[in-house]
């Protein structure tokens, strides 16, 4: 009984600890705790504490109550669609209340007594109201197993196997615990089956969680290993005792076998208890500073796997490793801009179709920290491979959709341009005979229609990029001079000699569209100003075009602004900014509208310094 109580208490504590993550184990933990108290009740009865033992044994109905609560939680799943299961679980508190009443009545009424037995000495027996307590306990146990049987009909796989294991363990426990009621029916027999009762809580818990938790399988593996080692130790001690007698060591040969086995078992337990601390000490001496564990590695893998681009992966990797080491670490990836500089670097490059991670500046650190960085680097390399494949797939799908869309748009635009320009030419020739003022209006509208057609062809056609080196300052100066700015104040800030590698014709289209928009709003405005700033960054060249014209409509979002036919300009085609956006995308660049730079209207353009060659888009 004492061994069973200890096993049940240990299992209950272990289950309660893991119930933080699997709430259904809380009921099973309560079952184990009540079983430990039930066994203690028998011990108190045998050791002349009948009153305390009586209270603990009459609290027996709480055992099946906890098990029924566990069964309801274990069985209820999406595939088991039984409203009564949910109702019973939600009102389980009333069952605990009823069980408490039964126990209190049993305590206050004449329900049990302690009698003298020839086989066991003092024994606990039910009588009178005690049989009601016993019947209530049996009914709850039957209900709990009925719930499990109901769940067995609907569940599949591991859950079904766990229910079968619970039924087998329950049958085994019933067989072992039945002799406890023999004295209540006048049977003065020694309860031999109860000698195996310590196996019941172990088998029950193992049957429940062996298919759910890897930790319990490792625990069972160690327990079986200890059992085998103990049996081998027992045989070894018997052999050693006989050998000592043959060698004349009579003092050792006369030591009782149970003492040799007990001493050896204590040494074995002490060795096992010291193994892990000594192993950790050795690990810290050999790899000082290393604190790797599976949970940390799992967090690293999850966080790195959630990154959607190279910059995010670089920043996340640097943050994870810096937080773990409490030192600033810089992670360099091919597709990400370098962040804050640090002496400790993790450089990841693709070489010969494999991602190689190089540690830079780690020579003076402890071996444990370098080991941690190497493990993190291997995870980072795997994440880089997965991200590269994901981006390639997304880019291929995007290119496929874009090509299909542009082919359709190009064919439509070319057909419309041909059909529209013929009647426009006829209108232009027919207007030659009208008066000058009316002819001017007609020609102005014809030019507007022709520009709209040209913009549609540029937007929908296939862009063929011809990269070349161009000096920015004279290029922008020449483009500004093509407009009648009237009283607008122009300011150009460009580093002397700054070069850009791009398609010069397309770059001219970008700035002509931006300058044309600015000129349309500024030339009739008092104190109008236009500022062009160019900055040489580490991997990009940044253009900012500011003007103090009227602010854009607040209803226009940044995404809407670069869509075709979204224009607030009188006479505009609505394609200017859309064309600019398409040309920037073709150069792997970016364009954005900014309102946080101190100007009513600001456009920011980012051209890569070293673009990948993408001649057709």
Q: Which of 294, 296, 320, 295 is nearest to 307 (CA)?
A: 320
Range(s) of the chain covered by CATH 3.30.565.10 = 463-608
Check: CB of residue 491 under 8 Å from CB of residue 529: yes
Range(s) of the chain covered by CATH 1.20.1070 = 2-212
Q: Which of 18-22, 285-289, 452-456 has the lowest mean pLDDT?
A: 285-289
Predicted pLDDT of residue 179: 75
Confidence check: pLDDT of 283 > 70: no
Average pLDDT rounded to a whole number, residues 148-167? 78
Neighbours of 394 (CB within 10 A): 11
Q: pLDDT tier at 616 (50, 70, 90 boundaries)?
A: very low
Confidence check: pLDDT of 82 > 80: no
Q: Which of 460-464, 496-500, 525-529, 595-599 has the lowest mean pLDDT?
A: 460-464
Q: pLDDT tier at 282 (50, 70, 90 boundaries)?
A: low
Percent of the chain with pLDDT over 90: 10
Average pLDDT rounded to a whole number, residues 387-414? 72
Token output for 565: 């036919």
Domain 2-212: top CATH class: mainly alpha
Q: pLDDT tier at 603 (50, 70, 90 boundaries)?
A: very high
Reduced to 3 states, what is the DSSP secondary structure of residue 590? strand
Range list of H helices, 431-482? 436-460, 472-480
HSE value, Cβ hemisphere, 13 Å, CA-based, for 229: 14
Confidence check: pLDDT of 14 > 50: yes
Average pLDDT rounded to a whole number, residues 570-587? 76
Token output for 129: 């109201």
Dihedral (Cα; 271, 276, 282, 283), 10-degree rounding:
160
Neighbours of 381 (CB within 10 A): 17
Predicted pLDDT of residue 263: 72
For β-strands 329-332 and 344-351, DSSP reports them as parallel
Average pLDDT rounded to a whole number, residues 510-527? 87
Predicted pLDDT of residue 42: 83
Q: Which of 208-222, 315-329, 461-475, 504-518 has the lowest mean pLDDT?
A: 208-222
Average pLDDT rounded to a whole number, residues 89-101? 87
Dihedral (Cα; 305, 311, 315, 320), 10-degree rounding:
20
Reduced to 3 states, what is the DSSP secondary structure of residue 508? helix
Separation of alpha carbons 566 and 556, rounded Å:
9
Predicted pLDDT of residue 340: 64
Predicted pLDDT of residue 19: 79
Confidence check: pLDDT of 562 > 50: yes
Predicted pLDDT of residue 617: 45
Token output for 385: 């491979």
Confidence check: pLDDT of 290 > 60: no
Separation of alpha carbons 401 and 581, rounded Å:
17
In the 8-state DSSP scheme, what is residue 596?
A: S
Confidence check: pLDDT of 608 > 60: yes
Token output for 449: 């229609």
Confidence check: pLDDT of 536 > 70: yes
More confident residue, 129 or 284: 129
Q: Which of 327, 338, 335 is nearest to 355 (CA)?
A: 335
Q: Tell me the torsion sign for CA atoms 139, 141, 142, 148.
A: positive
Check: CB of residue 136 under 8 Å from CB of residue 60: no
Predicted pLDDT of residue 214: 47
Return the ∠ at Cα 208 (arms to 205 and 212), rounded to 5°.
Answer: 120
Average pLDDT rounded to a whole number, residues 200-219? 62
pLDDT tens-digit map of 334-358: 766 555 677 888 888 887 778 888 8
Return the ∠ at Cα 285 (arms to 282 and 289), rounded to 5°.
Answer: 115
Reduced to 3 states, what is the DSSP secondary structure of residue 235? helix
Average pLDDT rounded to a whole number, residues 326-339? 75
From the number of C-beta atoms within 10 Å of its C-beta (0-12, 13-18, 19+), residue 197 rates as buried
pLDDT tens-digit map of 158-206: 677 777 878 887 777 777 777 777 777 777 776 777 777 777 777 777 6
Confidence check: pLDDT of 508 > 50: yes
For β-strands 601-608 and 354-360, DSSP reports them as unpaired
Check: CB of residue 66 under 8 Å from CB of residue 30: yes
Predicted pLDDT of residue 168: 81
For β-strands 529-536 and 354-360, DSSP reports them as unpaired
More confident residue, 608 or 446: 608
Separation of alpha carbons 323 and 506, rounded Å:
46
Q: pLDDT tier at 134 (50, 70, 90 boundaries)?
A: confident
Q: Which of 76-90, 423-437, 586-600 has the lowest mean pLDDT?
A: 76-90
Q: Which of 370, 341, 366, 367 is nearest to 357 (CA)?
A: 370
Q: Tell me the torsion sign for CA atoms 10, 16, 21, 22.
A: positive
Separation of alpha carbons 324 and 296, rounded Å:
9
Q: pLDDT tier at 615 (50, 70, 90 boundaries)?
A: very low
Token output for 573: 């085609």
More confident residue, 459 or 101: 101
Check: CB of residue 281 under 8 Å from CB of residue 290: no
Predicted pLDDT of residue 461: 60
Token output for 530: 């236009």
Separation of alpha carbons 376 and 346, rounded Å:
10
Tell whether domain 463-608 is in CATH 3.40.50.261: no
Question: What average pLDDT is seen over the chain?
Answer: 78
Predicted pLDDT of residue 491: 93
Predicted pLDDT of residue 335: 65
More confident residue, 376 or 364: 376
Percent of the chain with pLDDT over 70: 75
Range list of H helices, 76-198? 83-90, 92-108, 130-154, 157-177
Q: Which helix (H) or strand (E) holds 594?
A: strand 590-594
Output b/e per residue, 401-437; b: 16+ Cβ within 10 A.
eeeeebeebbeebeeebeeeeeeeeeebeeeeeeeee
Separation of alpha carbons 333 and 314, rounded Å:
6
Predicted pLDDT of residue 206: 66
């Amino acid at each position: 009984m004492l061994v069973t109580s200890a096993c049940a208490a240990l299992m209950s504590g272990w289950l309660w600890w893991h119930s933080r993550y699997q709430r259904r184990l809380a009921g099973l933990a309560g079952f184990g705790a009540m079983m430990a108290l039930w066994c203690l009740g028998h011990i108190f009865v045998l050791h002349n504490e009948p009153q305390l033992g009586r209270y603990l044994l009459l609290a027996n109905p709480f055992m099946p109550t906890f098990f029924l609560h566990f069964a309801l939680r274990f069985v209820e799943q999406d595939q088991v669609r039984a409203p009564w299961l949910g109702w019973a679980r939600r009102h389980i508190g009333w069952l605990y209340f009823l069980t408490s009443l039964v126990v209190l009545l049993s305590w206050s009424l004449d329900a049990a007594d302690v009698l003298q037995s020839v086989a066991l000495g003092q024994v606990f027996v039910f009588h009178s109201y005690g049989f009601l307590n016993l019947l209530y306990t049996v009914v709850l146990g039957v209900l709990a197993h009925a719930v499990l049987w109901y769940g067995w009909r609907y569940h599949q796989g591991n859950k079904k196997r766990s229910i079968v294991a619970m039924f087998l363990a329950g049958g085994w426990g019933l067989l072992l615990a039945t002799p406890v009621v023999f004295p209540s029916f006048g049977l003065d027999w020694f309860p031999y089956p109860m000698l195996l009762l310590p196996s019941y809580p172990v088998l029950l818990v193992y049957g429940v969680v062996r298919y759910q938790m890897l930790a319990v399988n490792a625990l069972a593996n160690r327990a079986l290993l200890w059992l085998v080692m103990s049996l081998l130790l027992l045989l070894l001690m018997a052999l050693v005792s006989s050998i000592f007698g043959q060698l004349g060591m009579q003092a050792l040969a006369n030591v009782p076998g149970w003492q040799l086995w007990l001493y050896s078992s204590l040494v074995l337990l002490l060795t096992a208890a010291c193994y892990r601390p000594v192993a950790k000490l050795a690990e810290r001496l050999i790899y000082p500073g290393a604190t790797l564990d599976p949970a940390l590695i799992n967090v690293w893998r999850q966080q790195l796997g959630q990154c959607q681009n190279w910059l995010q992966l670089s920043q996340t990797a640097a943050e994870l490793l810096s937080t773990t080491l409490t030192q600033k670490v810089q992670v360099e990836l091919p597709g990400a801009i370098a962040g804050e500089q640090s002496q400790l670097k993790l450089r990841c490059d693709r070489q010969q179709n494999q991602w190689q991670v190089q540690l830079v500046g780690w020579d003076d650190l402890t071996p444990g920290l370098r080991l941690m960085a190497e493990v993190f680097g291997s995870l980072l390399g795997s994440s880089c491979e997965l991200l590269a494949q994901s981006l390639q797939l997304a880019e291929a799908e995007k290119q496929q959709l874009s090509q299909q869309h542009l082919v359709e748009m190009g064919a439509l635009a070319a057909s419309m341009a041909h059909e529209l320009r013929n009647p426009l030419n006829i209108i232009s020739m027919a207007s030659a005979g009208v008066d000058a003022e009316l002819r001017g209006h007609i020609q102005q509208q014809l030019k507007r229609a022709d520009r709209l057609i040209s913009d549609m062809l540029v937007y929908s056609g296939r862009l063929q990029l011809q990269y070349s080196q161009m000096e920015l300052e004279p290029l922008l100066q020449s483009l500004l001079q093509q407009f009648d700015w009237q009283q607008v104040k122009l300011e150009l800030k460009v580093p002397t000699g700054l070069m850009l590698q791009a398609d010069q014709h397309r770059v001219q289209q970008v700035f002509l569209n931006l300058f044309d928009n600015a000129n349309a709003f500024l030339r009739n405005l008092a104190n109008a100003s236009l500022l062009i700033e160019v900055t040489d960054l580490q991997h990009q060249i940044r253009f900012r075009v500011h003007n103090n014209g009227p602010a854009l409509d607040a209803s226009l979002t940044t995404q809407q602004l670069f869509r075709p036919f979204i224009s607030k300009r009188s006479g505009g085609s609505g394609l200017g900014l859309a064309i600019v956006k398409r040309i920037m995308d073709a150069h792997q660049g970016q364009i954005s509208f900014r309102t946080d730079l101190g100007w009513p209207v600001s456009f920011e353009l980012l051209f890569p310094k070293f673009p990948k060659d993408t001649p057709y888009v």
